[in-house]
Structure 1
């Protein structure tokens, strides 16, 4: 950044949220001066390291939103989010972004009776709230195994109308598209403070009427925001390309997004190159919301994810793990995503995606653009807009709470795998501790 500059809108963070906001702003009003400030490079954080699930879903609790909104409002939000799949694909096509996008289903598998019970409940919940109940269906063991040959599978549910992406290609392509529209992206620029009308960096001050904090998992590193969102860590491993013989043994011909009904959250995809990526929580939380060091992953985390992969798909036991990385994502105190703009300070925000930001960030960008331009639209009236959430507790309570939650989840999974026929009460205790 060439010293002090002026802009109409300053966006802190060049990930999906910041770039989508810049994209829709410039499309709506090309004359706007939009500056994006990024500490590393565009896509450095979760936007370039996620599991590539363009799911049309987001982190929320319908019951929590119903406290301040109507059923109609909540369903409108679900409809808007589901539409993000088509919208991201539309923009990628229009802008010539090659991000290995493929329309697929999302398959959640259950390998014990307790998981199967949760899968049925989740399937019914989605069906009762979705504007298109036919978008989700329950599968028996045979139908699930016909899609992906998961060991000991007892059933699962599938959600139609989603997509797989290569996340780094998407964010880098979006950055290039934004720059073509005339947006300046100032990389290697560290923001030290955000205040009304100004963003102070190590290379100068950006003065702007409107400022957007699009820092998601890195929000806790901004002075004054230490307890706004908790920085939760997630990690991934990537196998070598699998042989045709191995793919025939596994199936996965539909390239579905793959998840499990276990409490130990995991997410996987079959990539364009014929690899498998498997992600999940490694070291779930570092004291003081510290972030990872350039995505470096501990060997214990790699081993843990490898164990999950081979447990679900023992056919992969002999496959090499060629890549591994980790990253951080933002978690609000109530685990529900929000977007908003303070009319008094003109400082806006979006995030708290809890790992579902590939689609959530697109809706955030469109909504922020409407809010910045002071347009009253269907998006600005959705119940997640300007929704305030209380802050996280100070340390050491955050660290103790998160680690207790995941320890309880681990014990609950072991008990269910050993034959417990219903969801372990320890999982409910884990949820209550952290508000999940």
Structure 2
């Protein structure tokens, strides 16, 4: 029987003084760092009565913004309206860690598990999509603090080192031994690393969304905030979308509502809202900066099932900060999105303990911001697509935390579907095949808790997956990034 051993991070929770964590969070704003800026664009007016358009986009996050922008690029004469129930980028698109990855399927292994016959092509399409995303930033002059040094995956358990050695391909994924990885970021927690240089860039997520919004407005997209879509119905050669401010009649509709209630009722069990949390440090002093290194502005992730992500930020004053998030991914019974779930004090304390165990040279550093956000989790862990009302409506959701880059591709898929023409993209199995729906409550909650426990158990058993995880893999609801 394989021995179960506490992980580095579980040991951290036992050894780091809780008083240290409490002190580091005492004056922390419970607010999103990216959105807490005077440079946030002013609110746009809500819809004022009934309207009509060629294309209505529902949702003002990345997927909706990319859809509106690409629709105008394809045909500048298209009359595009975008509505959002709140503010543009106020939800997942403004709350994430800013890791913009090429993968469309949440990692090579997950893609191989779900779509083995086209995974290689999806990898190519993902890299093309990332390159086109960067080209769009340049074309429209969007300043979103783009860092192009990739990501380093680090091992913190001895058995994980072998995984990184196997992944070294001698090209864009380079194995880093202990001395090298600790030379890049000074931490005795790191045993080795794998530097992936070409498949990830880092961005300020809110500035990316706001830049896309500005580009949309300049191209003539009409954007209305505080306008919630409440219903949808067929209207012959058009579709009528009812909103909190009036009705919109549109020739085509693109639904990009992320984790929020879908207008298509058949999608109600296709995603569940999972909450993810992050901390942002105060600016490091010169001494702290020297103690940590991190001269190359790359991201960091670890190899646990319950993984962390961290990254550097050079803020508007030129000061160096560190974002640290992940580990907990919380599902609340009932699957309702509630404001009180956007914060988890126990998770903040846990993340602080993990941070100080990883970076003991930064002991005493305080956190300026702590926040959470909702991830639209699908059972296959990447986006799914659908059409309705005889092809006049297209939808996209389920990015499962990897939508910063993949949302642009999702927008492309929706526009191809709405065109009514067969393309390489519309014929992908990724587009045609749907993930399995989640079961209703209370089965969903029980299942998520069991999966979380099984993933933690696998981390303690050198990554070996138990019966539950193997069963979920077999039925198509497993995850391996």
- Taking structure 1 as the reference length, the TM-score comes to 0.89
2:144 paired with 1:102: no
Mapping for residues 262-277 of structure 1, pairs under 5 Å: 262-273=304-315, 274-277=320-323
**Structure 2 counterpart of 1:30:** 76
**Cα shift at 1:222:** 6.9
Bigger Cα displacement from structure 2, 376-385 vs 161-170: 376-385
Secondary structure of 2:57's partner?
A: strand
SS class of match (1:425): coil
Partner of 1:77: 122
Equivalent residue, structure 1, for 2:196:
159
Residue equivalent to 1:218: 260
Question: Per-residue deviation at 1:89?
Answer: 2.0
CA shift, 1:342, in A, is: 4.5
The CA deviation string for residues 6-39 of structure 1, in whole angstroms up to 9 with x for no partner, is 1211111110001001101001111111111210
Matched-pair contact (CA < 8 Å) for 2:391–2:420 = no
- Counterpart residue number, 2:478: 435
**185, 210, 223: which one aligns with 1:185:** 223
Indicate whether 1:194 and 2:236 are aligned. Answer: no
Superimposed CA distance per residue, residues 370-416 of structure 1 (whole angstroms, 9 cap, x where no aligned partner): 33234544433433223222211001111111122223333443x35
Residue 150 of structure 1 contacts residue 312 of structure 1 at CA under 8 Å; is this kept in 2? yes
User: Equivalents in 1 of 2:334, 2:341: separation in Å?
Assistant: 18
CA shift at 1:283, angstroms? Answer: 5.5
Instruction: Give the RMSD, CA atoms, in angstroms.
Output: 2.2
**1:18 corresponds to which of 61, 64, 81:** 64
CA distance in 2, matches of 1:267, 1:220: 29
Q: Which residue, 186, 207, 217 being the options, matches 1:149?
A: 186
Residue 301 of structure 1 corresponds to 347
Q: For structure 1, which segment, 227-236 or 212-221, has the greater mean C-alpha deviation from structure 2 after superposition?
A: 212-221
1:403 aligned counterpart, secondary structure: helix
Name whichever of 309-318 and 165-174 sits farther off: 309-318
Alpha-carbon displacement from aligned partner over 1:79-118 (angstroms, at most 9, x marks no partner): 1112233222221222122111111121010011232234
State the 1:281 CA deviation.
4.4
* Match of residue 425, structure 1, among 465, 478, 481: 465
Which shows bigger deviation, 251-260 or 240-249? 240-249
Structure 1 residue 219: Cα displacement: 4.0
Structure 2 residue ranges without an equivalent (≥5): 1-46
Contact in 1 for aligned 2:57/2:81 (Cα 8 Å): yes
Q: How many residues align?
A: 416
Following superposition of structure 1 onto structure 2, how do residues 13-412 of structure 1 map, counting pairs within 5 Å?
Answer: 13-58=59-104, 59=106, 60-66=110-116, 70=117, 73-121=118-166, 123=167, 134-161=171-198, 162-196=200-234, 197-219=239-261, 223-273=265-315, 274-282=320-328, 284-293=330-339, 296-342=342-388, 344-412=390-458
Per the alignment, residue 130 of structure 1 pairs with none
Match of 1:4 among 37, 50, 53: 50
Q: CA deviation at 1:435?
A: 2.7
User: What is the Cα deviation at residue 297 of structure 1?
Assistant: 1.3
Looking at structure 2, the residues matched to 100 and 276 of structure 1 have their Cα atoms a distance apart, in angstroms, of: 14
Task: State the 1:285 CA deviation.
Answer: 0.6
SS at match of 2:339: coil
